[in-house]
Amino acid sequence: MSAPVVTRPPHSAVDEQDQKSGFAAEQVGQWARWIVLAFVILGAAGLIAVTVVTVGESKRTEQARRNWDHIHKALKDKNKPEELIAALEKVAPEVVGSPAHAYVLMQLGELHFNEALSPTKNPEDRAAGLKKAQQVFEIVATQEPYRSNAAFGPMAVEGLALAYEQNKEYDKAVSLLEENLKRWESHFLYNKMSAQLGRLYYLRSETREKPEDKEKDRTAAREKLSEVLRQGGTAGQGAWRDQAEFIKSLVDKPGKALPEGKAPPPKAPPAAAAPAPGAPPAPVTPDAKTTPPKSEEKKDEKKEEKKDEKKTGAIEKKMESEMAAGTTSGHLSFSQIQKMLKEGKTAFCECVRCTPGDETQAIRPFE
């Protein structure tokens, strides 16, 4: 009988497992090396980006500081409008494209607009100032990067619309505000510019010849002003709200009290009927509120004079009788009163002459 054959697992299986585990570890190590290298590269790139941004921001800040310092030096010790205009026009080309340039343009526009409204200027200078104000405000209101700047864009739109209004170019002003109000609904000048648009509708309606165009503008003014006046209270909103309320009262529809929008003419008093020929005159009834005749006034004056004479005569008679009877100390002079005060006595002159207002007052001796 032959011996049983014992089979053993081949050595190759173990070798294959060892080879697989070694290959996996080598792969993981290789991928980990690449991952670490990628993180290092990303970190370096991020550091470079932060450095570039920081340096750029610092340069922009430094440039902005230099621009504002330059404007401050140019405007220092300048008080007259002519000096300010000359200084701003000189410094404007040196700060082009920056927020400081928008500030310079807005200041120039305001100065030119004030010249256009100044009563001390002749008509030619006022017209030239208004034209320059329009040109300057138009740059800030329509060109980037100034138009999108919330600090200057809406203010430039308001100034340009005012310049158009001053020049009676109502169509341009209305179109400008209608276009820009949609962009600045959350701005603090939105209500003020809306009231300005309502005022422009009203002013344009006054220049319309066709009744339908006039009524259309008045309706638009009424709707816009009603919308504005519904927004909040009056605190901190300036005089423009009072103006909006006044213009709204002009464009409101007539109410029931005045259906035609005009006060009725006063009615004439009824004419008195003419008396019939040959009829006696109508009796005149005395009015209780009429003044008394002059004769009665004279009688009252005489009665008052007699009362005063009686009163004065009674006082004089009383004084004479007391002086004759020796029951009074008589009139005290100033020196007598001063002497009695030095002696510690109370000194008051209570004679009839010094106290004529109280006839019944008893004359007491001095203590």
pLDDT of 146 above 70: yes
> Based on the number of CB atoms within 10 Å of its own CB, is 268 exposed (0-12), middle (13-18) or buried (19 or more)?
exposed
Between the ranges 138-152, 285-299, 340-354, where is the mean pLDDT highest? 138-152
Instruction: Identify the pLDDT of residue 56.
Output: 76
Q: Is the pLDDT of residue 182 over 80?
A: yes
Answer whether 114's CB lies under 8 Å from 158's CB. Answer: no
pLDDT at residue 352 is higher than 70: no
pLDDT score, position 237: 65
Query: What average pLDDT does the structure give for the chain?
Result: 77
Residue 81: is the preceding peptide bond cis (ω within 30°)? no
pLDDT tens digits, 231-257:
755 555 678 888 999 999 888 887 766
Per-residue pLDDT at 142: 92
Q: Which of 130, 241, 127, 220 is nearest to 177 (CA)?
A: 220
| Torsion over CA: 185, 191, 197, 201 (sign) | positive
The region of weakest confidence among 11-15, 109-113, 235-239, 281-285 is: 11-15
Which tens digit of pLDDT belongs to each residue from 24-38?
Answer: 666 777 777 788 888
**What's the rounded mean pLDDT across residues 50-68?**
81
Tell me the per-residue pLDDT of 185-197, one tens digit each, with 9 for 90 and over.
888 899 999 999 9
Lowest mean pLDDT among 25-39, 83-97, 104-118, 219-233: 25-39
